[in-house]
Amino acid sequence: MDHLPSTEAAVTALRTIATQYGLAIRVTHDIGADQTSRRSSAGVGVTTDPDGSLPHEAHVELGGRPAVSVRLFPDDDALITVDGVECPDVDRDDVPAFLRSLYDGHAWVKARRFPPGNFLMVPLPQDRVHKEFILVGLTPWLGGRVR
C-alpha cells in the first residue's frame, strides 16, 4: 500500500474503497488544534501546532454491514470501530488494507474457551494480523465470523 502522507490522502483512499464496495460514505473534518480531539490542551483560539501547521482530523462513517467508522488522527494513526468493537492505534497506512480485509470477508472472530473471550482478527499486509478483544456481545455480523 502507498504511504498516506496526510489525513486528506487517507480520506481520498476511503472514498475510493467506498466506491469499489458500493458503500455510502459520510465524512466530517476537524481542522485546527482547537478542534481536533487530541489537542485539547491547545488553548482557546489556538488553531496551529507549535510548528505552525494546522492539524487535520477526519471522521468517516461507511454504510453497509458491518457498521464501520474510522477516525483519522493527525498523528498518522486511526481508530476503526467495527460493529461496536474499537480497534485503536491502527497505522493510517494500514487503514485501506484493514477495510479491504473486512469487506472481502477475510476478517474473523477467534473464540477462546478458557478464559472465555472473543477477538476480532483482521489480516494486514506482510503477514500481520490486527487482534482486538471484543468487549461487547457479538453482533450478527461478528457472530457469523466465529472460528
Asked if residue 130 is part of any domain, the answer here is no
Domain hosting residue 85, numbered range = 7-105
Asked if residue 139 is part of any domain, the answer here is no
pTM of the full structure? 0.84
Q: How many domains does the chain have?
A: 1
Asked if residue 96 is part of any domain, the answer here is yes
Asked if residue 113 is part of any domain, the answer here is no
- pLDDT tens profile 62-98: 999 999 999 998 888 999 999 999 999 999 999 999 9
Asked if residue 87 is part of any domain, the answer here is yes
Asked if residue 19 is part of any domain, the answer here is yes
Asked if residue 58 is part of any domain, the answer here is yes
Burial class (CB in 10 A: 0-12, 13-18, 19+), 33: buried
Reported confidence tier of residue 40, pLDDT bands at 50, 70, 90: very low
